[in-house]
């Protein structure tokens, strides 16, 4: 391994032969796309890239370094999917069983037939909690899960799929909590079963002592093209399914995921809560390490069996079916966003999840790659960020060479 870079420029570990990834990472900064970011790659179970670069915040008075933590929005969903898969491996959950088998209250409002698979693949129609509902209520686990159990689906479950941008985490997390023999809260399950054994710095519910390490999210600039701005307003404006799922029917208000304002997600209150669809905080190295452990043992820790992994990474949403919330086609397996239009990753067979503004983490069994990219400068996207495309293109080049 070589150590490269200096303050404010890409620095970290790069294995021989992997310099192309460092160069692509540096190019993103040179082009002004990144302020502060990190990227990590595992290949065949070995860490071959672990780079950070840029600055902690817009003042550029502090470097983005190995100690920096980053909120990753929906990239969190992949870790939640792994936790569910671990419960399947242990015989605690069955993807084909009804949710109400494990969570009886969930059967209210004719939801008794919804399966775990339908819930995880965003087919349950539970994209929001009908207002009035406050941010404080949304950050209280028992309150939000009780409201979801009592909620009426927006569409007949199984007849469509649409992004459960925030609700996915509480729904899947409550399933884990219900079947966990220790009945741990979800953040503790992740800490004790995934991140702790792996020594990976990633939290869903950040301890207070780590708060000073969190780099704030920097909002994206509004689209310069009025036509693009108008299109986004039509797709994601108040009252649309996109707005409902991204804001929890206004509970996060204009402090939500997709509108360029991130006030709530920079707050200690949100960082401390457990929002398993959107508030995971950690490093690129931690995310890549977790995904590497779904492929094969990492220092003796193996998170998913091959059979569960293969089931989880198989797309179950209908081909080219428009997402009822995001409008464009999206592709889901068992909690993972699988390879598709919104998530090209490194081609067929990959599983993971992107996050609003640009972050992503995924694994490719075919290439034996685990990858993660995190950043503080948001772009106007929910997935398929050009910065990650350049990085994965560089990985393909290395593998091809």
Cα 124 from chain centroid?
A: 19
Q: Reduced to 3 states, what is the DSSP secondary structure of residue 78?
A: helix
> Phi/psi of residue 169, each to 5°?
-65, -45
Helix 76-89 × helix 167-179 angle, to 10° = 30
Q: In what order do the strands lie in the sheet with 360-364?
A: 2-4, 11-14, 46-54, 36-43, 369-375, 360-364, 351-354, 337-338
State the catalytic residue, choosing from 6, 59, 74, 131.
74
Give CA–CA dist 201/48, Å, rounded.
18
Cα–Cα distance for residue pair 235/246, rounded to 1 Å: 12
Is 74 in the active site? Answer: yes
Calculate helix-pair angle for 76-89, 284-295, nearest 10 degrees: 30
Query: Which distant-in-sequence residues (6+ apart) come within 8 Å of 181 by Cβ?
Result: 92
Query: Would you tell me the crossing angle of helices 19-30 and 386-400 to the nearest 10 degrees?
Result: 160
Q: How wide is the angle at C-alpha 48 spanned by C-alphas 19 and 281, nearest 5°?
A: 110
What is the spatial distance between Cα 7 and Cα 62, in angstroms, rounded to a whole number?
Answer: 9
Please tell me the distance from the alpha carbon of residue 334 to that of residue 121, in angstroms, as a whole number. Answer: 6
- Cα 291–chain centre separation: 12
The residues annotated as belonging to the active site are 74
């Amino acid at each position: 391994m070589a150590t490269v870079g200096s303050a404010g420029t890409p620095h970290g570990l790069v294995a021989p032969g992997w310099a192309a990834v460092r160069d692509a990472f540096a190019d993103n900064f040179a082009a002004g796309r990144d302020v502060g970011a990190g990227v990590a790659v595992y290949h065949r179970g070995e860490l071959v890239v672990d780079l950070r670069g840029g600055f902690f915040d817009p003042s550029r008075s502090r470097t983005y370094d190995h100690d920096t933590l980053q909120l990753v929005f929906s990239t969190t969903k992949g870790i939640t999917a792994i936790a569910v898969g671990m419960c399947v491996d242990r015989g605690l959950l069955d993807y084909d069983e009804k949710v109400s088998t494990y969570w009886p209250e969930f059967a209210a409002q004719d939801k008794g037939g919804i399966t775990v698979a339908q819930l995880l693949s965003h087919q349950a129609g539970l994209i929001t909690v009908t207002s009035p509902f406050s941010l404080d209520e949304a950050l209280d686990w028992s309150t939000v899960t009780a409201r979801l159990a009592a909620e009426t689906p927006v569409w007949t479950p199984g007849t469509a799929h649409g992004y459960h941008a925030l609700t996915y985490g509480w729904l899947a997390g409550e399933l884990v909590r219900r079947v966990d023999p220790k009945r741990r809260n979800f953040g503790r399950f992740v800490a004790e079963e995934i991140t702790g054994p792996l020594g990976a710095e990633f939290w869903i519910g950040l301890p207070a002592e780590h708060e000073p390490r969190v780099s704030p999210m920097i909002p994206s600039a509004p689209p310069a093209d009025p036509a693009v701005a108008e299109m986004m307003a039509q797709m994601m404006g108040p009252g649309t399914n996109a707005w409902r799922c991204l804001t929890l029917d206004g509970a996060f208000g204009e402090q939500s995921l997709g509108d360029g304002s991130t006030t709530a997600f920079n707050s200690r209150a949100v960082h401390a809560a457990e929002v398993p669809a959107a508030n995971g905080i950690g490093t690129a190295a931690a995310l890549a390490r977790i995904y590497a452990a779904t492929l094969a043992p990492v220092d003796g820790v193996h998170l998913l069996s091959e059979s569960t992994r293969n089931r989880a990474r198989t797309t179950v949403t209908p081909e080219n079916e428009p997402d009822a919330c995001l409008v464009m086609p999206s592709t889901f397996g068992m909690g993972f966003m699988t390879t598709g239009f919104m998530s090209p990753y490194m081609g067929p067979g990959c599983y993971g999840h992107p996050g609003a503004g640009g972050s992503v983490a995924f694994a490719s069994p075919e290439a034996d790659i685990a990858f993660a990219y995190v950043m503080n400068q948001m772009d106007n996207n929910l997935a398929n960020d050009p910065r990650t495309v350049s990085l994965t293109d560089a990985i393909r080049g290395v593998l091809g060479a």
